[in-house]
Amino acid sequence: MVVRTRVDVGVNCLVIAAVQSGVCSDHVCLRNEEGRDRILAAAFSHTGRFFAACDDFKQMVIWAIEAGQWKTLGTRSLHRRCTSVSFSRDESSVVVADKSGDVFQYTVKTVEGDGRLLLGHVSMILDACLCADDQLLVTADRDEKLRVSRFPNSYNIHGFCLGHKEFVSCSRWLDEEKLLLSGSGDGTLKLWDLESCDLKSSVDCRSQQTDDLEVSSIAVCSEYKIVVAGFNGKSLLMVYAIQSTPNPRLEFVQTLTLSGVLWDMTFHGGCLLVLQESESKPLLGFDIQGNKLMPTDDDVSGRRRGSAFSRLSDVVNERAAFFKECASYESIFASLHKARIDNMKEYIEKKKERMSAAQKRSKNSPDQTAAPVAKQAKS
């Protein structure tokens, strides 16, 4: 069985580096000969037996992975360009969300069919997350809300989680705590109880920085109860500890500074793997020590020599040129913010102009009441 370590997404192709029984291998797949297709979303199944990737040509390719061998199960045509893809826990189906606000369910091993429509939003869906043993489907959209639906009969709406002030960019299910973690363009992380759709805790990441921050990705290590937040266009990470008692909350631990802009990140065991914009070292590792993250130093730490991370790092960093096109890729985050139009301001300014003009006209006009008064005096 292949254990997922990192999915490296490029502009025109995709590199997957995996570790199997201590042996590192890499695969290059889903590349268009004309170099036009960008990978929009990709995900492994729960056990790592299947992998799905969606491109901007509105197609999804699914692979089966067995004994280190990758076999293409088929290519599915999608209705719209994908924004999120995830597998069900039993690995029988794939849930795909698209930019038009629809979510479809596809079977993994059947290529035929258009997919089953699960639900629809009137806004762009940015993330979809299966929670509570696949009983609930949470969809995050541009309109600052999280919709909680029953799965697979998602026409049954369980509720809405409302509280973010900007688009909801990402969400993660915390299985042990039975809570949903969400990140937003307003720079906050929020913990939700999906049963009641109540907000349990909120953290403003901007309180630790003077910069305007937009949460773009979240990495969770359930074993050590650590959450790491990444931000759009920034070279920093914020680490939080999950506290369950007396009330669930996120407690700030530290800030990590990267040498390049963050692209993506994930936990593998007790190591945080970070993909950043760098010509020499796009892949970084951070070890968990206590409740903090420390950089993995292969040159100093003898225990890390020859480790799985070291071999994985070599595979990715030797192909640093592969990521050059990613540096020129423009993030969609700027277009997700809504234009705030202050109609009253323009109305008040025009009203003041009309009142000022009326006052000037009244001052310049002759006094109409003086003549009648003079006639009455003569008579």
The Cα 203–Cα 189 span in angstroms is 5
Domain residue limits at 204: 3-345
Q: How far is CA 240 from CA 172, 218, 230, 293, 360, in A?
A: 14, 11, 12, 10, 63
| Mean pLDDT (whole number) for 314-334 | 79
- For residue 330, give every residue at least 6 positions away whose Cβ sits within 8 Å of its Cβ, in sequence order, or none: none
| Mean pLDDT (whole number) for 302-329 | 71
- Determine contact, residues 86/66, Cβ cutoff 8 Å: no
| Mean pLDDT (whole number) for 341-346 | 78
User: With 50 as the cut, is the pLDDT of residue 22 above it?
Assistant: no
Give the count of beta carbons closer than 10 Å to the beta carbon of residue 213: 24
Which stretch of 9-23, 54-68, 154-168, 310-324 has the lowest confidence by average pLDDT?
A: 9-23
pLDDT of residue 36: 52
The Cα 42–Cα 38 span in angstroms is 11
Structure tokens at 82: 């994908």
Q: Which amino acid belongs to residue 186? A: D
What share of the chain in percent tops pLDDT 70?
A: 83
Q: Which helix (H) or strand (E) holds 49?
A: none
Q: Is the peptide bond before 248 cis (omega within 30 degrees of 0)?
A: no
Please state the domain count of the chain.
1
pLDDT of residue 367: 59
- For residue 339, give every residue at least 6 positions away whose Cβ sits within 8 Å of its Cβ, in sequence order, or none: none
Residue 127 lies in a domain: yes
Residue 176 lies in a domain: yes
pLDDT of residue 8: 42
Edge-to-edge strand order for the sheet containing 179-184? 168-174, 179-184, 188-193, 198-204
- Determine contact, residues 56/41, Cβ cutoff 8 Å: no
User: With 50 as the cut, is the pLDDT of residue 34 above it?
Assistant: no
Alpha helices by DSSP H, the chain: 308-317, 324-327, 333-336, 343-364, 370-378
pLDDT tens digits along 219-241: 999 999 999 999 999 999 999 99
pLDDT of residue 252: 95
Residue 353 lies in a domain: no
The Cα 39–Cα 20 span in angstroms is 24
Biggest alpha carbon distance in the chain? 120
User: How many helices (H) and strands (E) are present in the chain, helices listed first?
Assistant: 5, 27
Residue 355 lies in a domain: no
Residue 73 lies in a domain: yes
pLDDT tens digits along 199-224: 999 999 998 876 789 999 999 999 99
Residue 364 lies in a domain: no
Nearest to 252 by CA among 209, 192, 287: 209
User: With 90 as the cut, is the pLDDT of residue 345 above it?
Assistant: no
- Determine contact, residues 119/139, Cβ cutoff 8 Å: yes
pLDDT tens digits along 79-96: 999 999 999 999 999 999
Q: How confident is the model at residue 300 (pLDDT cuts 50, 70, 90)?
A: very low
The Cα 50–Cα 326 span in angstroms is 25
| CATH code, domain carrying 335 | 2.130.10.10
Whole-model pTM: value is 0.80
Residue 323 lies in a domain: yes
Residue 35 lies in a domain: yes
| Mean pLDDT (whole number) for 339-361 | 84
| Mean pLDDT (whole number) for 12-31 | 42
- Determine contact, residues 323/282, Cβ cutoff 8 Å: yes
Q: How far is CA 24 from CA 17, 48, 161, 304, 318, in A?
A: 7, 15, 41, 15, 13
The rounded mean pLDDT for the chain is: 83
Q: How confident is the model at residue 366 (pLDDT cuts 50, 70, 90)?
A: low
The Cα 129–Cα 282 span in angstroms is 28
